[in-house]
C-alpha cells in the first residue's frame, strides 16, 4: 500500500468512525438495542435443566430476527457481531456448544452463568454481557464465593466505566479493575481484555488488559481521546485469576483476512464460501453453518484461514463473573449504549470501604446511558424483564 492509499484509507476510517455523525450513532444505537433485547431474553430463560446449546441458538435467532427486518436496501451488512456464548462457573469465555455429543452443558442450581453476545448494523458493533446465578430460592440471596466474585466484577466494571474519559489512560482503568477485585478477595482473569472497536473491527491495537502481562501480551499505554468506541469486558475470578485452555475444541472462529490458501477439499471450499459470505470479518460459531459444510472447517482452520477463540478455564473450584458493555467516547463525554441488567440477588461477606479508590470512583457520575428499546420501535420489539433482586453489599 503506497502513501496515497494509506492516506485515503485513513480518511475513510475517520469518516466511518465519526461519532458526531447522526447516521453512525443511529446504527450503533440500533445494534445496541438488538443486543440488549437478545441478552435480556436469554437471561430470562436461564433455569435449572436448560441446555446451553439451546440458549445460545435462541440468542442468535433473536439477533438475526431483528437484523433481517432493518436496512434492507443497498445491501447493508448486518447480523451477529459475536455469537451467543454462555460460560458456566470456572469456564471463562467463548463457550458456544453445537449441541452434539460430547459438546454440551446442562445448567444446574447454583451455577454462575455468564452470557455474552453482540450485533452489528453496517459494521457498527455493540456487544454486551451479564452474569446470573441459578438460585433455587430467589427470596434468599446467594452467598459465598459466587456472591463475592459477582460483586467484584460489578464494582470493577462500574469503576472502569467511570475512568473512560478523555485524557485518562488504559493503565488507570487496569489499576481500578485490580483494586475493585481485591476488595472481595478476587482476581481479574489473566489473558482477558477490553478493546477499542471500529467499524468492522472487533478489536484494534488499543487494549485494556484485565491483568498486566508484559511477557506474553505486551500492550502499549495509551490515552483516551474523543471519537473512540470501546467494548468494556470485565472478567473476575474467585481464585488467583490464572486460566488454561480447556480440552474442548473451539467452536467460535473468525475469518483471518490476512491469510490466503487454495483449499483442496470441496467441503472446505464450501465452508469458506459460506463463512465469507454470511459472516464476513465477524466471529461465528460452527453451529450456525450448514451441516454439510461443518466438516470442511477442519481444513479451513488448519491453513490459518480462521482464527479460533479457544475455551479457557480457571481452576475447577473457582467461579468467574463477567460484565460487558459498549461505550462511545465523544467530545461530550462517554455514553454507555448497552445498559446494565438487574443484578442477581447476592450477599458478599466483604464490603467497599469508604476510603477505598473504588468507593471514590463510585461516587463520581457515570457515563451517560442510552436507554434501550427506542431504536427497535416498529420491528417487533418485546419488553422482557430479567429477574433479579439486586446486590447486597456494605459500602
Higher-confidence position of 275 and 10? 275
> CA-CA distance, 49 to 107, in Å (whole number)?
5
> CA-CA distance, 249 to 228, in Å (whole number)?
34
The whole-number pLDDT of residue 168 equals: 97
* Chain segment 274-299, per-residue pLDDT in tens: 999 999 999 999 999 988 888 889 99
The whole-number pLDDT of residue 265 equals: 87
What's the mean pLDDT in 193-201? 97
For residue 35, pLDDT beyond 60: yes
Q: Among 16-30, 73-87, 351-365, 371-385, which stretch is predicted with the lowest mean pLDDT? A: 371-385
Task: Give the DSSP per-residue string, 72-127.
Answer: -STT--EEEEEEEEEEETTEEE-----SSTTS--B--TT-EEEEEEEEEETTEEEE
* Beta partners for residue 391, in sequence order: 346
* Chain segment 170-179, per-residue pLDDT in tens: 999 999 999 9
Other C-beta atoms closer than 10 Å to the C-beta of 324 total 27
Task: Please state, for a pLDDT cut of 90, what percent of the chain lies above it.
Answer: 75
366 band by pLDDT with thresholds 50, 70 and 90: confident
pTM for this one? 0.91
Q: 243-261: b or e for each residue (b if 16 or more CB lie within 10 Å)?
A: beebebebbbbbbbeeeee
Among 267, 276, 269, residue whose Cα is nearest residue 294: 267
Mean pLDDT across the chain, nearest whole number?
A: 90
Cell numbers given for 94: 467463548
* Beta partners for residue 314, in sequence order: none
Domains along the chain with CATH numbers: 3-250+309-390 (3.90.230.10), 251-308 (1.10.10.10)
Among 367, 361, 356, residue whose Cα is nearest residue 328: 367
Q: Among 21-25, 121-125, 310-314, 380-384, which stretch is predicted with the lowest mean pLDDT? A: 380-384
Cell numbers given for 47: 433455569
> CA-CA distance, 142 to 139, in Å (whole number)?
10
* Chain segment 44-102, per-residue pLDDT in tens: 999 999 999 999 999 999 999 999 999 998 889 999 999 999 999 999 999 999 877 66
386 band by pLDDT with thresholds 50, 70 and 90: very low
For residue 334, pLDDT beyond 60: yes
The whole-number pLDDT of residue 381 equals: 43
Higher-confidence position of 1 and 158? 158
What's the mean pLDDT in 190-203? 96
Longest dimension (CA), the chain: 64
Q: How many residues does the chain have?
A: 395
Q: Are 134 and 46 in contact (CB under 8 A)?
A: yes
Amino acid at each position: 500500500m503506497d502513501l496515497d492509499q494509506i492516506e485515503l484509507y485513513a480518511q475513510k476510517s475517520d469518516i466511518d468512525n465519526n461519532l458526531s455523525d447522526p447516521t453512525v450513532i443511529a446504527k450503533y444505537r440500533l445494534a445496541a438495542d438488538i443486543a440488549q433485547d437478545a441478552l435480556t431474553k436469554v437471561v430470562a430463560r436461564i433455569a435449572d435443566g436448560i441446555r446451553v446449546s439451546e440458549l445460545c441458538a435462541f440468542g442468535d435467532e433473536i439477533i438475526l430476527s431483528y437484523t433481517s427486518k432493518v436496512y434492507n436496501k443497498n445491501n447493508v451488512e448486518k447480523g451477529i457481531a459475536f455469537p451467543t456464548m454462555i460460560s458456566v462457573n470456572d469456564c471463562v469465555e467463548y463457550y458456544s456448544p453445537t449441541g452434539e455429543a460430547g459438546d454440551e452443558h446442562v445448567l444446574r442450581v447454583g451455577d454462575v452463568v455468564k452470557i455474552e453476545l453482540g450485533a452489528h448494523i453496517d459494521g457498527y458493533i455493540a456487544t454486551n454481557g451479564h452474569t446470573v446465578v441459578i438460585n433455587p430460592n430467589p427470596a434468599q440471596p446467594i452467598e459465598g464465593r459466587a456472591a463475592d466474585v459477582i460483586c467484584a466484577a460489578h464494582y470493577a466494571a462500574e469503576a472502569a466505566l467511570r475512568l473512560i474519559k478523555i485524557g485518562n489512560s488504559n493503565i488507570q482503568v487496569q489499576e481500578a479493575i485490580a483494586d475493585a477485585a481485591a476488595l472481595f478477595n478476587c482476581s481479574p482473569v489473566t489473558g482477558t481484555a477490553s478493546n477499542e472497536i471500529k467499524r468492522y473491527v472487533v478489536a484494534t491495537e488499543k487494549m485494556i488488559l484485565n491483568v498486566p502481562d508484559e511477557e506474553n501480551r505486551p500492550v502499549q499505554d495509551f490515552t483516551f481521546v474523543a471519537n473512540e468506541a470501546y467494548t468494556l469486558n470485565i472478567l473476575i475470578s474467585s481464585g488467583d485469576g490464572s486460566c488454561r485452555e480447556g480440552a474442548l475444541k473451539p467452536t467460535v472462529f473468525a475469518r483471518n483476512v490476512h491469510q490466503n490458501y487454495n483449499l483442496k477439499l470441496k467441503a472446505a471450499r464450501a465452508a469458506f464460501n459460506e463463512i465469507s459470505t454470511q459472516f464476513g470479518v465477524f466471529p461465528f460459531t460452527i453451529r450456525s453453518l450448514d451441516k454439510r459444510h461443518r466438516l470442511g472447517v477442519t481444513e479451513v482452520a488448519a491453513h490459518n484461514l480462521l482464527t479460533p477463540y479457544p475455551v479457557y478455564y480457571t481452576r475447577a473450584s473457582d467461579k468467574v463473573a463477567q460484565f460487558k458493555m459498549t461505550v462511545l467516547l465523544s467530545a461530550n463525554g462517554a455514553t454507555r449504549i448497552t445498559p446494565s441488567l438487574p443484578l442477581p440477588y447476592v450477599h458478599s461477606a466483604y464490603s467497599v470501604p469508604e476510603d477505598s479508590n473504588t468507593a471514590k470512583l463510585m461516587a463520581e457520575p457515570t457515563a451517560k446511558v442510552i436507554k434501550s428499546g427506542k431504536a427497535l420501535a416498529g420491528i417487533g420489539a418485546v419488553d422482557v424483564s430479567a429477574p433479579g433482586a439486586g446486590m447486597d453489599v456494605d459500602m
